[in-house]
Each structure stands twice: as structure tokens, then as C-alpha cells.
Amino acid sequence: MRCQRLHHPKPADQNPLVLGDCPIPQPGSNQVRIKVSYCGVCRTDLHIAEGDIHPPHLPITPGHQVVGVVDAIGDAVDQTPSPLIRGRAGAGVSLSQRVGVPWLHSACGVCCYCRTGLENLCEQARFTGFHVDGGFAEYIVADVNYLLPFPESINDQNAAPWLCAGIVGFRSLRLADLKPGERLGLFGFGAAGHLAIQVARHWGCEVYVFTRSSSHRRHAEELGAVWTGGAEDQPPKLIDRGIIFAPAGWIVPLALEKLRPGGTLAINAIHMSDIPQMSYQKIYGERTLRSVANATYQDGVDFLKLAAEFPIKPKVNLYPLEDANRALLDMKESAIDGEAVLEIRS
């Protein structure tokens, strides 16, 4: 099969991914093999490719927003006809079934985090395209218990951004404690931001978007932002909740200045530059500052259900598998609105 592999981290403008031929993987007993149709391109893929975060081994195939159909099934997987549910060996999985593979590949299932629905914090958690080969390839194997089903109402290419940008953006809204009708500030407006704003608007929230990209500002306004500007600019009112999507620590004190007392600021970044020293007054007033670490399986279930009800509509920029490096560079340079998605099906 064709796949894009990372052998040595390099800057995005130096083509870190290498297109080549790899053996088609075989599923283990509790796994399925998926023939990939589309895979979203995430900033985490960029961080891996450029060496900001380090997978436990190289080479690795990135990609963790994978849409495809089940092509082969492990011998311990329950194929009893039923809706795909999460349970023992993924009851209900069948050949040719359309499924999604998210960032969370697996977790131990027995630690205090897993037992309380926080498997995203499990110390034994493994992630797609980081611990195991991901979806920048024609086939992928996945743990059957972490597959996500798709509603029939959404097509494959639009479903890909839901699997990370959508899910982790949704978790960020939850951890920011956003309530219907509140004012929300989004700092950075890429793939996750352009989906999170749609959820917030559905909840009747006013959304202020802080981004240096004029194109992203226009996109935010098209999606219902009531105000756009830069992180240094002052919005007309203080925000109730905020989410930082940009991996820039210098934004944190600026965002706190715009947050009302008692408000919450969530940082959605797997990698971020250092947060500068700041005065205590910026967080005083019972403001909350917290990080967002990955997402749980239930976040995925809940978001996909919600996304199908609107429906949430991602802006997709398609690239062939051969152009994965260009997709990474375009994302790094904020040259696209919405999300880059690799078209992989033959």
C-alpha cells in the first residue's frame, strides 16, 4: 500500500514525510483493518513532523482523523448484527461498515482515570499516528473498542475533520464551562475553531475571534462571529469563557485580560511555547486557567451525535495523499480556512 512516513523530523518546508510502499497491516484479535478514504490533517501531525513532540519510535505514519470502511476483522471481534456500540470487542462491527478512527487509539481500561471516564488521561493511553501507524495511508488497523460510528447524513470527506478538530474543540467548550447565551472568545481560528464556533452559535452564544489572519477573520465572520481582531486588541465586552487554539504561550496573559472574574480559559494545545511570567492580578478574581488534554471516547460519541443534528459543516480543503507535505505547510502558514483533508481512496 502507499503511505506517507516520517523517518526524521524536519521543518514543514523541507518535506518531512516520505511517500513510499508499506506492507498492508493485518488486524490483531481485537482489531479491525480499515480501507481509508479520507484523513484529516491536524496541527498535531505538524508538531510530530517538525519534532515538537516525539513519538516513541520512528518511522511512523501520521494521521488520526481517519474515515473508511472495515476491510478485515480480528478473530475475537463480535460480529453480531447490531448498531456499532462500545463494549466487549466492539459488538456490531461488520465488513464494509463505515467507521471513524480518532486520536485515542486505546487505553488500559482499569486505572482510576479509565474507570471514571477520563481515559484521555490514562498513563497507558496510546494514540493514533503517534504510538501506532495512522491514516496517511491506504489501510490502517484500529482497536475495535475505540471506533466511532458515523451517521449516514454526513459524507466521508466532511466527516474527517469531526474526528479531532471537532471532538477536541467540543471537549474544549465543555472544559471552558461554556453555557448557552454566554460570550465566548476563540484565540486562533483554524480547523478546531471553525467547528467550535458552530456549536457555540447553536447554543446562542456571542463569539469573539482573535486571530492575526485576515482570511480567518473573514471566515469567522461568515460563521457568525460578532467581533474579530488580534490577540492584542480589546473586544467591546469581557468574555465569559475563552479557548486558546494557537500554540503560543504569549497569548495566555492577553486572553486573561479579556476574561471576566469567575470566567474560564481553556488551552487546547498538545504543544505550546512557554507561558511568560505574568502578574497575579491577571488570574485573580476566581478566574480559571486549565489545559485540554486529548479527548475521551464519550466526547466523540456526544459530538458526532450533536454534529449530525445541526448539521455542523466543516470547510474542507482536499489534497491527494502525494501532497501531504504541502498540506502540512499550508496549515502552518495559515494558508487555508477550515481543515486540510487527504483524499486517499483509489
Helix (H), strand (E), coil (C) string for the chain: CEEEEECCCCCHHHCCEEEEECCCCCCCCCEEEEEEEEEECCHHHHHHHHCCCCCCCCCECCCCCEEEEEEEECCCCCCCCCCCCCCCCCCCCCCCCEEEECCEEECCCCCHHHHCCCHHHCCCCEEECCCECCCCECEEEEEHHHCEECCCCCCHHHHHHHHCHHHHHHHHHHHCCCCCCCEEEEECCCHHHHHHHHHHHHCCCEEEEECCCHHHHHHHHHCCCCEEECCCCCCCCCEEEEEECCCCCCHHHHHHHCEEEEEEEEECCCCCCCCCCCCHHHCCCCCEEEECCCCCHHHHHHHHHHHHHCCCCCCEEEEEHHHHHHHHHHHHCCCCCCEEEEECCC
Task: Report whether pLDDT(86) > 60.
Answer: no
What pLDDT is stored for residue 85 in this prediction? Answer: 47
Strands 66-73, 98-101: pairing is: antiparallel
Q: Alpha-carbon distance 110 to 108, whole Å?
A: 6
Average pLDDT, the chain: 93
Task: Report whether pLDDT(90) > 60.
Answer: no
What pLDDT is stored for residue 87 in this prediction? Answer: 42
Least confident of 119-123, 305-309, 312-316: 305-309
pLDDT confidence tier of residue 262, bands split at 50, 70 and 90: very high
Which residues, other chains included, contact 16 with Cβ-Cβ below 8 Å and sequence gap of 6+?
Answer: 6, 8, 9, 10, 49, 50, 325, 328
Which amino acid appears at position 177 of this protein? D
Q: Alpha-carbon distance 249 to 276, whole Å?
A: 7
pTM: 0.92
What pLDDT is stored for residue 76 in this prediction? Answer: 83
Task: Report whether pLDDT(91) > 80.
Answer: no
Q: Alpha-carbon distance 197 to 94, whole Å?
A: 35
Q: Alpha-carbon distance 3 to 201, whole Å?
A: 38
In tens, the pLDDT along 171-191 reads 999 999 999 999 999 999 999
End-to-end CA distance of the chain: 11
In tens, the pLDDT along 7-57 reads 999 999 999 999 999 999 999 999 999 999 999 999 999 999 999 999 999
Domains and CATH numbers, the chain: 2-163+295-343 (3.90.180.10), 167-291 (3.40.50.720)
Q: Alpha-carbon distance 208 to 251, whole Å?
A: 15
In tens, the pLDDT along 224-241 reads 999 999 999 999 999 999
In tens, the pLDDT along 100-158 reads 999 999 999 999 999 999 999 999 999 999 999 999 999 999 999 999 988 778 889 88
